Amino acid sequence: MSNVLNTLTEEQIQQFRTEGYLIVKGLFSEEDVRIIENKFEEISHQTIPGLFEPVLDGSTNDPLKRYPRVMHPHRFDETAKQYLLHKPVMEVLSDLYGEEALAAQSMFYYKPPGSRGQALHQDNFYLQVEPGNCIAAWTAIDAANEENGGLLVVPKTSEHELSCPEMADSSESFTTHYVKPPKDQKAMPVIMDKGDVLFFNGNLIHGSYRNKTKDQFRRAFICHYANVSATHINTHYRPLFRQDGTAVDLEINANGGPCGIDFEMAYPH
């Protein structure tokens, strides 16, 4: 592991290792946030088969059908790819990993008013990065809080093994999987300002509230990364990219994770 830190302090590294997550304030500038806002406002009026399929004709009352999450926007949009490989993010990741990071996935959540949250889960259950782990970089495009559906984390569960999920409450979660926190450990809200980035370990149990507001979106640009020494990943996250945009293909992880190959993975995550 490298002993030279690009961006973080030793205290920040220690917090990530102990708690499983770290907020880096203002890692995206106001200009970065504005560019991302404008790009995904433009995308919100389009249909990208298999990656973003909103109901645009006004025939749905479900806000998440009008504004579903955008999957892998870096695969069809250069601005999204630029921010997937954003140098400040990649430098933080290299500090956290102690080695180069590879970009595996991008997503954009609009989280419109009234929309359901996402049940508690663990990211590496889906990405299946081995050896090592995935790390998420969750960027607040709007300020995120308890009212508009901000993120929840269960501190210190980064050391918790990957769990076979239970079924989630579909009235509160738009996803089907739920991972129960360990006994005596509770989810806590993460309060973030625009441009803040939350980094968290792939085993950390996390999710989000319902957006209880009537007039606030809670937009977020979310990317997942793997350590360069990893050899395997779930097939849905290939190819990966170095910071310079060079594609890297890890081997497909086909072991099925903690639930075996017969468990429905319910991709996409």
Q: What is the mean pLDDT of residues 184-201?
A: 97
The reported pLDDT for the residue numbered 151 is 97
Task: Write down the pTM of the prediction.
Answer: 0.95
The two structure tokens encoding residue 120: 């508690």
State the pLDDT confidence band at 1, using cuts at 50, 70 and 90.
very low
Phi/psi at 118 (nearest 5 deg)? -125, 125
Bridge partners of residue 73, in order along the sequence: none
Residue 96 exposed, middle or buried by CB count within 10 Å (0-12, 13-18, 19+):
buried
pLDDT at 166 over 80: yes
The reported pLDDT for the residue numbered 4 is 73
State the pLDDT confidence band at 5, using cuts at 50, 70 and 90.
confident
The two structure tokens encoding residue 130: 């081995």
Cis peptide bond N-terminal to 268, omega within 30: yes
Q: Are strands 188-189 and 220-227 parallel, antiparallel or unpaired?
A: unpaired
pLDDT in tens, 40-62: 999 999 999 999 999 999 999 99
pLDDT at 256 over 70: no
pLDDT at 148 over 80: yes
The reported pLDDT for the residue numbered 253 is 92
**C-beta of residue 132 within 8 angstroms of C-beta of residue 226:** yes
Q: Which residue, 257, 238, 220, is CA-closest to 103?
A: 238
Q: Are strands 70-71 and 101-109 parallel, antiparallel or unpaired?
A: antiparallel
Bridge partners of residue 138, in order along the sequence: 198, 222
Q: What is the mean pLDDT of residues 14-35?
A: 98
Q: What is the mean pLDDT of residues 180-197?
A: 96
**C-beta of residue 218 within 8 angstroms of C-beta of residue 150:** yes
Phi/psi at 64 (nearest 5 deg)? -80, -10
The reported pLDDT for the residue numbered 39 is 98
State the pLDDT confidence band at 259, using cuts at 50, 70 and 90.
confident
Q: What is the mean pLDDT of residues 53-75?
A: 97
pLDDT in tens, 81-132: 999 999 999 999 999 999 999 999 999 999 999 999 999 999 999 999 999 9
pLDDT at 263 over 90: no
- Helix or strand holding residue 145 (H, E): none
- In the predicted model, what is the mean pLDDT of the chain? 94
Q: Which residue, 149, 161, 121, is CA-closest to 212?
A: 149
pLDDT above 70 as % of the chain: 95
Residue 38 CB partners (closer than 8 Å, separation 6+):
none
pLDDT at 258 over 80: no
The reported pLDDT for the residue numbered 261 is 56
**C-beta of residue 216 within 8 angstroms of C-beta of residue 113:** yes
Q: What is the mean pLDDT of residues 126-147?
A: 97
Q: What is the mean pLDDT of residues 1-19?
A: 87
**C-beta of residue 175 within 8 angstroms of C-beta of residue 37:** no
